[in-house]
A and B are shown apart, each in its own frame.
Chain A
Amino acid sequence: DTGVSQNPRHKITKRGQNVTFRCDPISEHNRLYWYRQTLGQGPEFLTYFQNEAQLEKSRLLSDRFSAERPKGSFSTLEIQRTEQGDSAMYLCASKPGSGGAWDEQFFGPGTRLTVL
């Protein structure tokens, strides 16, 4: 296992288009997180899955955003009707279910979205 992977690494789209990103967590990590990082800022929490259940969503996640984790393995994040303000790095992280707050999250390389 080589860690958390994300695809694509880069996405350029026009305003109003829909985009979908994929995250493959470390196998057997049942907790999965999405974060968004804008230029010059630290990552901000978007949403959290435990297995296939989406248990928490940030207020940052508008109704144009939807995330799924259908079989408790990989996850997708879709943005509909993209806006220029959606341009950011989207990061995925995972951690084992047995851990606590003191256990690290393992991050993927991110998907950089540019909305023209």
Chain B
Amino acid sequence: AQSVTQLDSHVSVSEGTPVLLRCNYSSSYSPSLFWYVQHPNKGLQLLLKYTSAATLVKGINGFEAEFKKSETSFHLTKPSAHMSDAAEYFCVVSDPVSNFGNEKLTFGTGTRLTIIP
């Protein structure tokens, strides 16, 4: 079974400072990993995904993540936080060994990012 662990339930940073949201995964296979963001009253939106093409993945809104197999990590970073980044962030793994094409997603418990003005 695959799983992801988000190491921080809540992260607070000041506007303009770097953001680091930590994620560790467990997988018996080469995983597909994603970061999704959830703003209040809005649907989940894909930030970026890792598909084995490159270990450093760039996403939308200046976010990026680095896949480190030796550490089983996929941490999300951004050099400079903006007020609009305040949201819930989910690290997600997709099951590559699918039943009937069901690549269902397994979510972490989420990290709430607060930006201090």
Contact = CB atoms under 8 A, between A and B. Distances in A.
Interface in B19-43: 32, 34, 36, 41-43
Interface string A74-89: 0000000000000000
Contact of B107 (A42, A56, A103, A108): A42
Contacts of B8: none
Nearest to B99: A56
Q: How many interface residues does chain B have, given as a range?
A: 20 to 34
Given A55-B102, A56-B102, A110-B43, A41 B94 contact: no
Interface residues on A, range: 20 to 34
B101 interface: yes
B103 A109 contact: no
Nearest to A97: B101
B49 interface: yes
Contacts of A26: none
**A contacts with B: majority SS:** loop
Contacts of A107: 36, 43-45
A102 B57 CA distance: 13
A45 interface: yes
Nearest to A41: B109
A91 B44 contact: yes
Interface string A31-55: 1010100001111110010100001
A91 B103 CA distance: 16
A103 B98 CA distance: 13
A95 B105 CA distance: 12
Interface of B: 32, 34, 36, 41-46, 49, 51-52, 90, 92, 94-96, 98-110
Interface of A: 3-4, 31, 33, 35, 40-45, 48, 50, 55-56, 91, 93, 95, 97, 99-105, 107-110
Given A50-B102, A100-B103, A101-B103, 4 more contacts: A55-B99, A91-B44, A104-B49, A107-B44
